[in-house]
Structure 1
Amino acid sequence: MNGYIKTLTKAYEDLHQDGLELKISTDWHLQPFFLEAVAERVKQALERFPAEQRAGVPVLLTAHSMPKRVIENEPDYINHLKETAGEIAKRAGLASDQWMFCYQSAGHTPEEWLKPDFADVMPELKAAGKQQVLIAPVQFLADHLEILYDIEVGAREQAEEHGIQFARIESLNTSPLFIKALAAVVKDTLAQ
């Protein structure tokens, strides 16, 4: 987001180092190798379900929630995440009624955070007669707290509390397609 870019740019300017050049990669949310890497993980995770159930497994494509005020100042950020989710769903071959974009990991502050959170979605899935759910983070690239606790523990508990079988995609971590995506982003950035 813009705050990070401004902070990094200021730190760079404050260094006053001759010969030091700063280039920042931005807006690579539609990088083809990245989209393919996440779509591949979605397809792999769906293959773990019995063949006759796969088309009916809801897929929640998630991103970190944020205070609403942050997004009001930078609407493109969330629009990019939604574009990413839509492209991943298309590449994974998901029907439009099989997936949805939602949030996770909202902070514990009194201000309003973006919704729906995947916790809000679990009772809706149960009410719709769904018995499984697959969570696919589209914003998180490697295993860390929001994956290993918020999803693997928290979302699993919320799903199981509603009698829903829980699964999540494997994180990208060192996926060869993801590494290709990062290399392409660096090359594109350096070429600018």
Structure 2
Amino acid sequence: MPTTSDDDALAPYDAVLLLSFGGPEAPDDVMPFLRRVTAGRDVPEDRLQEVATHYHHFGGRSPINDQNRSLMAALEAELARRGSSVPVLWGNRNSTPFVTDTLRAARAEGLLRLCVVVTSAYSSYSGCRQYREDLAAATEELGIAAADLVIDKVRPYALHPGFVAANTDHLVEAVAELEPGDRDSARLLFVTHSIPEAMDDTSGPGDGDGNLYVEQHLRAGHVIAQGLAARAGVTLDHELVFCSRSGSPRTPWLEPDVNDRLVELAGEGVTTVVLAPIGFVSDHMEVVNDLDREARDTAEGLGLRLVRVPTAGTHPLFVEALVDLLQERAAEARSEVVIPEQVDGGDLRPSVCAPGCCPNLRAALPALCGQD
């Protein structure tokens, strides 16, 4: 963890900005929200109506905003514990509070230098660069009002020890609930959001080999599974599967889908499956609908016992990791020497993205917090 002689270890930042995807808070918000998410992608109306049913199963309210409120409170508490008085702000890409409004309010309060934490741990266009594009679009909309804002962000944190440790803790606790016989024969599926294959192929630095999105998940899953074996004496066969596929059926997306894999495992004689959604930082819609509803229905129809592991959420080790990352970025801003923490020797991503990193394959749009 970086150290400093300054009164506040987050100096020179005036505030932290928690930047998230957003979600509807009421049934009338669902379709406007989905239209914002899919703007410019030519998604048919019937597909939007189909996705809307996922939200209406839960009263038309996404859990993500409440989870962000909880994460904000946890970050504020951890910052205060470390003696920091820097406030935590919150902005969304696709629902209120919109990031543009948050930046406008920050400037009005004299908060001019912000450090951003995004609620996405992994490297990809949708998981990193698109957030940076939204920051650029917000400052462009503000125009002259954003001229004196300085916005930085923490690096992708999929392989940060705290994020991995929080997921390991949850997995150990979930497996402990199984009977000994079930623990020995269970199959462990690490779950993440599917993305187009082309997006994975171009994830990572512009001069690299791509596929960093999948690689980070595989590395994180490997370390988490090792942690389960070391702490609980349970070694499970494990693999990476995907959920929440969307878009044109003609576009190849990452597979296998979690439901398809459950069918295959049941055919192989597996009776217990553990689902660990390490690709998500909280139990938002893709988790509660795709895993707790659809995958559970699939498992019940197959006679499989399904154990679902919680996401990192507000686990203390995850919250501490995010504050460590904020302090690390602040030390960089002060031109101090920083030795970042990383597990498993994985590819260490910088806080300032290199040119061509995780590109937008549809359009060349400006993005903040990068060299291009």
Same structural fold, with TM-score higher than 0.5 when normalized by the shorter chain: yes
C-alpha contact (below 8 Å) 2:168/2:225 kept by paired residues: yes
Higher mean C-alpha displacement, 34-43 vs 177-186:
177-186
| Bigger Cα displacement from structure 2, 171-180 vs 142-151 | 171-180
Q: Which of residues 264, 271, 274 is equivalent to 1:134?
A: 274
Q: Which residue number corresponds to residue 77 of structure 2?
A: none
- Encode CA deviations 1:58-90: one digit per residue, 9 max, x unaligned: 111011001122222222222222222222112
- Deviation of 1:100 after TM superposition, in Å, equals 0.8
Pairing 1:22-171 to 2, within 5 Å after superposition: 22-74=151-203, 75-93=211-229, 95=235, 98-110=237-249, 111-171=251-311
Runs of 4+ in structure 1 off by over 6 angstroms are: none
Unpaired stretches in structure 2, ≥5 consecutive residues: 1-127, 204-210, 333-372
Higher mean C-alpha displacement, 5-14 vs 53-62:
5-14
SS at match of 2:276: strand
CA distance in 1, matches of 2:310, 2:152: 31
- Structure with higher Rg: it is 2
The C-alpha deviation readout for 1:145-181, integer Å capped at 9, x for no partner, is 1111110001101111211011101232221111111
Q: Secondary structure at the match of 1:129?
A: coil
Counting aligned pairs with the same residue, the percent is: 26
Structure 1 contact 62–135 (Cα < 8 Å) conserved: yes
TM-superposed deviation, 1:40 = 0.7
- Deviation string 1:88-142 (CA, Å, 9 cap, x unpaired) is 11222263x6211111111152221110111121122112211111100011111
3-state secondary structure, aligned to 2:215: helix
Structure 2 equivalent of residue 21 of structure 1: 150
How far, CA to CA, are the matches of 1:159 and 1:38 in structure 2?
23
Q: Which runs of 5+ in 1 are unaligned?
A: none
State the match for 1:177 in structure 2: 317
Q: Please provide the CA RMSD for this pair.
A: 1.8
SS in 1 for 2:225: helix
Contact kept in structure 2, 1:55 and 1:98, CA below 8 Å: no
Question: What secondary structure sits across from 2:151 in the alignment?
Answer: coil
Quick check: 2:186–2:273 contact (8 Å CA) kept in 1?
yes
Aligned length: 190
Structure with greater contact order relative to length (CA < 8 Å, sep ≥ 6) = 1
Aligned equivalents of 1:187, 1:9: Cα separation in 2: 23
Q: Deviation at 1:9?
A: 4.1
Helix, strand or coil at the partner of 1:53: helix
- Conserved in 2, the CA contact under 8 Å of 1:57 and 1:130? yes
CA–CA separation in structure 1 for the residues paired with 2:221 and 2:196:
20
The structure with the largest helix share of the pair is 1
TM-score under structure 2 length normalisation: 0.48
Contact 1:58–1:134 under 8 Å retained in 2: yes
Q: What's the CA shift string for 1:43-66, capped at 9, x where partnerless?
A: 111011112321321111011001
Normalised to the residue count of structure 1, the TM-score between the two structures is 0.90
CA distance in structure 2 between the partners assigned to 1:130 and 1:92 by the alignment: 20
Whole-angstrom CA distance in 2 between matches of 1:52 and 1:11: 54
Q: Which amino acid aligns with 2:168?
A: A
